[in-house]
Amino acid sequence: MKQPSFLNDRILPILTVLAALIAIWYLCVVWLNAPFVRDQAARAGTEIVFTDLVKQTMNEERPVLPAPHQIVTELWKTTVTMPITSKRSLVYHAWVTISATLSGFVIGAALGMLLAIGIVHNRAMDKSMMPWVIASQTIPILAVAPMIIVVLNAVGISGLLPKALISAYLSFFPVVVGMVKGLRSPDNLLLDLMRTYHASPSQLFWKLRWPASLPFLFTSLKVAVAIALVGAIVGELPTGAVAGLGARLLSGSYYGQTIQIWAALFMAAVVAALLVSLVGVAHRMVLKRMGEKA
């Protein structure tokens, strides 16, 4: 009981819950898709036995709820068997979204850090801007996304940059709030110690405030990267479904291609997991370099 086993404590419960979820999913597939199959059978004038019913609900062309194996097949077909450059390859669309997400994330995080440094060092900036930074988080910024895209298109800026700007805007606020908290986290004792060392403001910043803020920074970076992805996906909606995961969602919903929507959704989930865990790895590496036990 001293060393909790990784298998028993982590993997097993998660796998059980996942298995239960998939089982429930299959039940829902039968339940939701059955009316259509019954309808088909009634039109053809045939009685349908239960086993056939189940089999057919699993393999509909445009199901109300596609079965997991259908989604996996679609994912496999659009990622592995397609050439990456093809417009029908999900890897290509995911890459479009990821590039917008990452460039927006970098811009937003850099701006956020700069603003946070300004806020910590200038009382007027702190007093006048912090309430607005917090208030702006309560505003549904995503609603502005389509307009920013259209406006920038009108000015002649199209492609990656408008989406990146939305992602930047969204990832900006968590970074500011987390960073300000982090830069303020050294207590008076530590600040006084630096003062007794006669540290200059820049030394105070680089040797105390900056390292102290890193754990806070990484926590907000994880939030920021997840929300940047949402921004990029929503940013792809109004451009008329050209490329990207958001475009796949929209074109799927136009043409009733449920399997395509779910495949795009799963791809988005994979991308989100990938991005968040990348930031997590960076977090752990930095903490290790700083000599902390992660």
Which of the stretches 46-54, 151-159, 189-197, 209-217 binds other proteins when contact is defined by CB under 8 A? Answer: 151-159
Which of the stretches 82-90, 174-182, 211-219, 245-253 binds other proteins when contact is defined by CB under 8 A? Answer: 245-253
Which of the stretches 82-90, 174-182, 207-215, 260-268 binds other proteins when contact is defined by CB under 8 A? Answer: 260-268
By beta-carbon proximity to other proteins, the closer residue of 72 and 144 is 144
Which residue in the set 7, 44, 124, 189 belongs to the binding site for other proteins (CB under 8 A)? 124
Which residue in the set 43, 123, 198, 289 belongs to the binding site for other proteins (CB under 8 A)? 123
Please say whether the beta carbons of 288 and 99 come within 8 A: no
Considering only CA atoms, which of 170, 183, 172 is closest in space to residue 216?
Answer: 183
By beta-carbon proximity to other proteins, the closer residue of 201 and 240 is 240
Q: How far is the CB of 261 from other proteins (least distance, A)?
A: 6
Interface with other proteins, residue 22, by CB under 8 A = no
Q: How far is the CB of 207 from other proteins (least distance, A)?
A: 27
Q: Within 2-21, which residues bind other proteins (CB under 8 A)?
A: 9-10, 12-18, 21
Q: What is the 3-state secondary structure (H, E, C) of the chain?
A: CCCCCHHHHHHHHHHHHHHHHHHHHHHHHHHHHHHHHHHHHHHHCCCCCHHHHHHHHHCCCCCCCCCHHHHHHHHHHHHHHCCCCCCCCHHHHHHHHHHHHHHHHHHHHHHHHHHHHHHHHCHHHHHHHHHHHHHHCCCCHHHHHHHHHHHHHHHCCCCHHHHHHHHHHHHHHHHHHHHHHHHCCCCHHHHHHHHHCCCCHHHHHHHHHHHHHHHHHHHHHHHHHHHHHHHHHHHCCCCCCCCCHHHHHHHHHHHCCHHHHHHHHHHHHHHHHHHHHHHHHHHHHHHHHCCCCC
Identify the sign of the CA torsion 182, 166, 96, 263.
Answer: positive
Q: How far is the CB of 126 from other proteins (least distance, A)?
A: 8
* Count of residues interacting with other proteins (CB under 8 A): 59
Please say whether the beta carbons of 65 and 33 come within 8 A: yes
Which residue in the set 154, 156, 188, 189 belongs to the binding site for other proteins (CB under 8 A)? 154
Q: Within 161-220, which residues bind other proteins (CB under 8 A)?
A: none
Interface with other proteins, residue 265, by CB under 8 A = yes
Q: Within 270-289, which residues bind other proteins (CB under 8 A)?
A: 272-273, 276
Interface with other proteins, residue 114, by CB under 8 A = no
Which residue in the set 131, 201, 278, 288 belongs to the binding site for other proteins (CB under 8 A)? 131
Residues whose CB is less than 8 angstroms from the CB of residue 170 and which lie 6 or more positions away in sequence, other chains included: 104, 108, 141, 142, 224, 227, 228, 230, 231
By beta-carbon proximity to other proteins, the closer residue of 50 and 254 is 254
Q: Within 35-94, which residues bind other proteins (CB under 8 A)?
A: 64
Chain residues in the site for other proteins (CB under 8 A): 9-10, 12-18, 21, 64, 123-124, 126-132, 135, 137-144, 146-147, 150-151, 154-155, 222, 226, 229-230, 233-234, 237-238, 245, 249-250, 252-253, 256, 258, 261-262, 264-265, 268-269, 272-273, 276
